[in-house]
Amino acid sequence: MKTPRIENSRFWRASIFPFAILLVAISANAQEIHELTLVTAIELATQNDDWLTVSEQEQNAYLEEATAAGELPDPKMMVGLANMPLDTFNFGQEPMTQFRLGVNQAFPRGDTRELLRKKITQQSEVSPLHRDDRTASVTLEVSGLWFDAYLAEQSISLINNDRALFEQLVDITTARYTSTAGLARQQDLIRAALELVRLDDRLALLRQRQDSSRQRLAEWLPYEIVSLPFSQDLPELEPPESELNSLPQALEFFENHPKIRVNDKQIEIAQTQVEITKQSFKPSFNVGASYGYRDRSRLGIDRADFISLDLSFDLPLFTENRQKPRLRASQYRASAKQTERILLIKDLFANYQQAMAQLVVLDERKAIYNDYLLSQLTDLTEATLSSYTADEGDFEEVMRAYIAELNAKIELLQIDIERLKVISLLDYLLTTSAY
């Protein structure tokens, strides 16, 4: 009764030990990594993606099934009594009574075994392509989440940096209001305090977005890594140099994308299935041999034993409503996969064109903000503040200038982030499979 407990304890130790090693490795990585960069996030997400492990296991399963599919069916053994008299049940009474021992081997139709092995092998070859697409998809997903979290974190930093300016403006307004000259109105003081409250509200909303992005990143990364501070530097992602202007170019350009390579393999599988279906027009065979033992006669005379050989096969003569419809169905499925390939390329090309158009607009907007807008807003803020302190300007103008400058800084950051997201999407669309 103690043996099962020992075996169970060994089982749990064997199961928990690799998991414990993984936790130790993750903790060690968390201690070595001081900030979470985009490259680190992508590497950890792809290294710890259980889906890739599942895909490898499925590929191994297909390979094992392919080996089995190419083999002959197991032979069938036959043991029995033939022509036993029912009146006496005497084995030696009648000359035809036999004890029979036989074996029968079935041979599938035509090249069915070889084609089945080929089809399952082709199915196993789809798995590495799926893994290539999965890795590219995870890279795109994790990049988007990292950019969202970075945007929220840097927006919080910009607001906190400018908050000191708003507090300084509140102090100036308070001093002007409490002065004997009465240079500021009470509504100016209230407006200044109100803008600080609004900043606090924006900070709370941004922290919520930051936490949400981190929680979504935790789906791909260990929590110890996700909780680390983000890198302050944006990664430098270069847009693609290639430019596609027509569908014929896209047909050639996207032929090595994992999605297209998967579809190509599915076309091969469908064509192999057509060949398998054609084998149904050929007969299948059964070959058998049996040995019949007979007892001596009542007079003690030896009787000859029997050996029997037989060959049986089916005749696929009535194919109009069975084999032919199945063949046409497999051909239609193969044609559908070929049409699906064109649809996939059109979808990739459309997404590529849309992303390139977005990138052009984002580059234009970034240039406007960097070359003109930010510098002009900064000058406007300084000018309105100088006018207000000299009692020549209006407080509303000062506050609008401060808010406009802060919003412009955040909008420029959003443009940078959106631009990097578009480049990440283009990188995914231009992914090629090495398999």
Which residues lie below 8 Å from residue 374, measured CB to CB, with a gap of 6+? 405, 408, 409, 412
Q: And the tokens for 288? A: 């058998």
Helix (H, G, I), strand (E, B) or coil at 93: coil
Residue 147 burial (CB count, 10 A)? 21
Q: Are the C-beta atoms of residues 306 and 127 closer than 8 Å to each other?
A: no
Backbone angles phi, psi at 98, to 5 degrees: -140, 150
User: What superfamily in CATH does domain 35-429 come from?
Assistant: Outer membrane efflux proteins (OEP) (1.20.1600.10)
pLDDT tens-digit profile of 266-306? 999 999 999 999 999 999 999 999 998 888 877 777 888 88
* Alpha-carbon dihedral sign for residues 218, 222, 225, 227: positive
CA distance 21 to 19: 5
Please provide residue 308's backbone torsions phi and psi, each rounded to the nearest 5 degrees. Answer: -125, 140
Q: Contact 318/395 with Cβ under 8 angstroms?
A: no
The four Cα atoms 358, 363, 365, 366 give a dihedral, to 10 degrees, of 140
- Contacts (Cβ under 8 Å, ≥6 apart) of 197: none
H or E element that contains 276: helix 258-278
Cβ contact 155:410 at 8 Å: yes
Residue that the structure tokens 């398999």 belong to: 435
Closest by CA position to 142, among listed 232, 47, 208: 47
Residue 57 is predicted with a pLDDT of: 96
Look at the pTM and tell me if it is higher than 0.95.
no
pLDDT at 205 over 90: yes
**What pLDDT does residue 239 have?**
87
β-bridge partners, 309:
289
3-state DSSP call for residue 337?
A: helix
pLDDT tens track for 343-362: 999 999 999 999 999 999 99
Q: What is the pLDDT of the chain when averaged over all its residues?
A: 85
C-alpha span between 258 and 428 (Å, rounded): 10
The four Cα atoms 50, 53, 54, 59 give a dihedral, to 10 degrees, of 160
pLDDT digits (tens, 9 = 90+) for 147-192: 999 999 999 999 888 777 777 777 766 776 666 455 556 676 777 7
124, 66 Cβ separation under 8 angstroms: yes
Rounded Cα distance, 425 and 419, in Å: 10
Cα(207)–Cα(152) distance, integer angstroms: 7
Strand, coil or helix: 165 = helix
Is the pLDDT assigned to residue 73 strictly greater than 50?
A: yes
CA gap 146, 219 in Å, rounded: 12
335 versus 10: the higher-pLDDT residue is: 335
Are 177 and 391 contacting, i.e. CB atoms less than 8 angstroms apart? no
pLDDT tens, position by position, 97-117: 888 999 999 999 989 999 999
pLDDT given for residue 176 in this prediction: 64
SS (H, E, C) 172-217: HHHHHHHCCCCCCCHHHHHHHHHHHHHHHHHHHHHHHHHHHHHHHH
From the list 323, 413, 425, 395, the residue with the least C-alpha distance to 166 is: 395
